[in-house]
Structure 1
């Protein structure tokens, strides 16, 4: 499998990849910018592409690398340079390394805060120019000041921890931060407008989204304290650059520090470069030896795990599946795929809706992963590119709603998964399954509400017929004459003389003529070949 390392990562990460059996590591640093056509050629046949921030993995790259591309790894946090929508369309998992540069970015943020409080950079420059300007480079203390942290993820939490050590009061805004966690961290959880009004220092640690773009703008700055200090070591664009410039020039903002920008690098004549109360660094958040080694090795390990069929860590376009979770849900995935596929194949009309019900112990498992497994099976005959990454998206684009229910009702099984498809004509098709025995063997235990016991493998002949004498013998005779062996058979009926269900597991597929003969039997209501 070819691994295209498009941007330079730590040699530790590259060496790890080279040590993996069956991997061909292609180092193509700078190729994206220097020779885009060559980059597209290198992408062809790649199983994985690893980037930092220089190379862009756009839709054209995904198209060039399809269908072999399975993973794109970002050695860093931000994934602005990766088209996640295109990745999902092509069934490619996108992963980043949010933990590897946490300390480096938190420390850089605090460096900017300290330099915003004490004009160290400006004073150092004056010394280099031969001056001794003690009186004009006075500053302020962090002690007893209020820091507002926007975003309490890994980095925001580390910044808050350091601020507490400096004797600062920390206000935190994060829609996903629980009150319990905020209390444990010693921070006060507030709404954004309160954070703006009461903070002496404000730092942002959020991804760049439609909701966070320009979050700190002219109106927001107008509500802040006079002399507020602003810092951004997260993503360019969260702080509106024109509003920040206006605030700095008016004195509303006493100082600021930026490591990231709306456009990188900023133009040589960008007005930021001439602001004396603004400290600028060239996107150094992860630029420590320790961070680069960490993210390089982490993304190499993550990509390897995906290509080897192991856990999926830090995925941004699907739920992450660590090794422990994968070990738990893994035995169910084959069953889920079989249930989805069986229901789709048994539906005689176009499906308008899918309903999935989890009962028993299975309700405690990762339902998202199980649901993706079911939809992957359901769609396997619809799309040749369907997988766990894009199954939900394909269903959405087909206009097929998926209802997922966790039921507390008792069943005959310790755990049960039921998949039901509603067709446009109102008819419903369903299949139920569970795992049995110490080996967690998948079993289909009901079809259309009738009890069966079928191992979901290979070729199956599903027959619905009037409950009459001799039907099984007639079916067996036709299949035997066709040279097809019946490996197993499961029979069920709703009532004596009602409709019977006959599932025959076959060693090979019967001929079209044999199927026609079976369908010609007067008692046969439906005969369908299913492949699982």
Structure 2
């Protein structure tokens, strides 16, 4: 059955057509996003939800989304999506961060010109029949210092445009390296230095706990007199009350804001102040950007629903379509390894250590980590997946560590998973053969070669004669067919293990019979998702 996607906001007809051309069953209801009760009533029928800003994907909506796998936001901001609720339910949240980069950067530059030359006020005055030429004295941008807070995708474009205007550019960004700054032609500085030197300051960072009110009253006091501030990023990055006071005192000469702490903004401390330019969140409002983000979200959602490729997800590592093809068997293996340990472990897990060796160490390890963690967590929560598992692990205080190393053995690549509890450590390793089938190659340090089946039986015992006969006879007498039988031991007369791949789940009475023989220290039926 084809995946089904609901478009609950106004999206380009070309985006709708992309879904159709890719074989997606698409339901275009551009106004239903405004009706939260109706949306909650119908959302359970869909695998995907494509939205803009009008739809609010609240915890209530997500709770009703019984089949939803992905939410795609045509645009950057995802404040209208409860990402925690989505992650816990295993729903991928995607946005389109690159479709409106140029548009938003250009708007910031336009706002800088507008506040430098008081263009909106001068225009209004002239429309009113006044000719107040001397009233609107502006400043040039050439030779001025622009302080850019956040030199990522959009901030980087602003830096480039500002250099074209012959401005000096200083940038504050904890993730900006010295080498990258040199290539961009900007000077990397600390925030206080930027505040002290900049004639214009523009913000291009997301709203987080760390960036909330990054331009506080204290920060504004550190700025040079006559500074002008531009915010086309996110509301809440600037203390608007403090900025209003600084504008009234003259310490700040002007401000240009496209975003506000409360939106829609019908009231704000910055409104009606002289030399403050305000626009209603128009950063992405060009026909080109609206078309780009709509097409991108349709492609991204289609890729995920049809091939498993993940692009621009906020709660899941990205996996390209090419990676998905190569990594598919390894992702299955990671889940199987996690599932084995998860089913074998009854006590609380303190840590999960994952080793990647050889060729697999060059792959997308973040995605493989998610596969391992999901496999482990499925015992406690069968509905867990690669999105929700890391969230659950974090909530439980489980430490995740990853090591990758060059080829160290006979296998081209392998994954080894070790879990740590208060009582013990337990490990398993596996690889993918040339036929694309995952195999278990080591359990508890004992070498094996076991194909993974939907139903398996794991036993441990002392290495003594009669184990194979007892297992075979008990299975045969009770109608359990063995598809594959693997043995391994640490040393002669030492600990040994057996892993049986059987056609159907081993019934509980058969498990009891094996335990009563007294030959086994452990008898454990296992189930794996091999679909």
The reply to whether residue 520 of structure 1 matches residue 525 of structure 2 is no
Which residue number in structure 2 is paired with residue 301 of structure 1?
Answer: 299
In 2, distance between residues paired with 1:155 and 1:39? 33
Which residue number in structure 2 is paired with residue 122 of structure 1?
Answer: 121
Work out which of the residue numbers 366, 369, 392 in structure 1 matches 2:364.
366
Work out which of the residue numbers 418, 430, 433 in structure 1 matches 2:430.
433
TM-score, normalising length from structure 2?
A: 0.95
In 1, distance between residues paired with 2:214 and 2:117? 26
Task: Give the superposition deviation at 1:349.
Answer: 4.7
In 1, distance between residues paired with 2:478 and 2:319? 46
Is the contact made by 2:407 and 2:413 (CA closer than 8 Å) also made in structure 1? no
In 1, distance between residues paired with 2:302 and 2:151? 30
Return 5+ residue gaps in structure 1 as ranges.
Answer: none
Task: Give the superposition deviation at 1:518.
Answer: 2.1
Query: Equivalent residues in 2 for 1:250-269 (5 A)?
Result: 250-267=249-266
The reply to whether residue 59 of structure 1 matches residue 55 of structure 2 is no
Secondary structure at the counterpart of residue 75 of structure 2: coil
In 1, distance between residues paired with 2:351 and 2:125? 71
Secondary structure at the counterpart of residue 221 of structure 1: helix
Is the contact made by 2:319 and 2:364 (CA closer than 8 Å) also made in structure 1? no
Task: Give the superposition deviation at 1:316.
Answer: 1.0
Task: Give the superposition deviation at 1:529.
Answer: 1.4
Query: Equivalent residues in 2 for 1:314-393 (5 A)?
Result: 314-347=312-345, 349-393=347-391
Which residue number in structure 2 is paired with residue 156 of structure 1?
Answer: 155
Task: Give the superposition deviation at 1:406.
Answer: 3.0
Query: Equivalent residues in 2 for 1:29-428 (5 A)?
Result: 29=31, 31-33=32-34, 35-65=35-65, 67-267=66-266, 270-347=268-345, 349-407=347-405, 410-424=408-422, 426-428=423-425
Deviates more, 1:461-470 or 1:342-351: 342-351
TM-score, normalising length from structure 1?
A: 0.94
Deviations 1:330-351 (A, max 9, x none): 2211111111111122336554
Deviations 1:431-466 (A, max 9, x none): 1111222x3331100111111101112221212222
Going from structure 1 to structure 2, the CA distance change for 1:121 and 1:427 (only over 3 Å counts) comes to: closer
Task: Give the superposition deviation at 1:151.
Answer: 0.5
In 2, distance between residues paired with 1:107 and 1:500? 68
Secondary structure at the counterpart of residue 273 of structure 1: coil
Going from structure 1 to structure 2, the CA distance change for 1:307 and 1:27 (only over 3 Å counts) comes to: same
Is the contact made by 2:303 and 2:321 (CA closer than 8 Å) also made in structure 1? no
Secondary structure at the counterpart of residue 44 of structure 1: helix
Deviations 1:43-99 (A, max 9, x none): 22222222222222111111011x211111111111111111111111111111110
Is the contact made by 1:4 and 1:28 (CA closer than 8 Å) also made in structure 2? no
Deviations 1:11-41 (A, max 9, x none): 2212322444241314142x444x3211211
Going from structure 1 to structure 2, the CA distance change for 1:119 and 1:396 (only over 3 Å counts) comes to: closer
Is the contact made by 2:8 and 2:51 (CA closer than 8 Å) also made in structure 1? yes
Which residue number in structure 1 is paired with residue 460 of structure 2?
Answer: 464
In 1, distance between residues paired with 2:74 and 2:11? 7
In 1, distance between residues paired with 2:183 and 2:305? 38
Deviations 1:371-426 (A, max 9, x none): 110111111221132111111111222343333333568334332211123344x2
In 1, distance between residues paired with 2:119 and 2:510? 88
Work out which of the residue numbers 432, 438, 444 in structure 1 matches 2:440.
444
Going from structure 1 to structure 2, the CA distance change for 1:40 and 1:149 (only over 3 Å counts) comes to: same
Is the contact made by 1:344 and 1:421 (CA closer than 8 Å) also made in structure 2? no
Return 5+ residue gaps in structure 2 as ranges.
Answer: none
Is the contact made by 2:11 and 2:30 (CA closer than 8 Å) also made in structure 1? no
Going from structure 1 to structure 2, the CA distance change for 1:60 and 1:482 (only over 3 Å counts) comes to: same
Deviations 1:298-332 (A, max 9, x none): 11111111212331111111222222333343221
In 1, distance between residues paired with 2:192 and 2:92? 37
In 2, distance between residues paired with 1:154 and 1:349? 45
Is the contact made by 2:46 and 2:68 (CA closer than 8 Å) also made in structure 1? yes
Which residue number in structure 2 is paired with residue 23 of structure 1?
Answer: 25
Is the contact made by 2:486 and 2:500 (CA closer than 8 Å) also made in structure 1? yes
Going from structure 1 to structure 2, the CA distance change for 1:347 and 1:223 (only over 3 Å counts) comes to: closer
Is the contact made by 2:62 and 2:85 (CA closer than 8 Å) also made in structure 1? yes
In 1, distance between residues paired with 2:222 and 2:467? 82
Going from structure 1 to structure 2, the CA distance change for 1:42 and 1:517 (only over 3 Å counts) comes to: closer
Deviates more, 1:334-343 or 1:478-487: 478-487
In 2, distance between residues paired with 1:54 and 1:470? 69
The reply to whether residue 531 of structure 1 matches residue 527 of structure 2 is yes
Is the contact made by 2:342 and 2:378 (CA closer than 8 Å) also made in structure 1? no
Secondary structure at the counterpart of residue 451 of structure 1: strand
Which residue number in structure 2 is paired with residue 7 of structure 1?
Answer: 9
Deviates more, 1:41-50 or 1:177-186: 41-50
Secondary structure at the counterpart of residue 272 of structure 1: coil
In 2, distance between residues paired with 1:232 and 1:349? 51
In 2, distance between residues paired with 1:171 and 1:350? 50
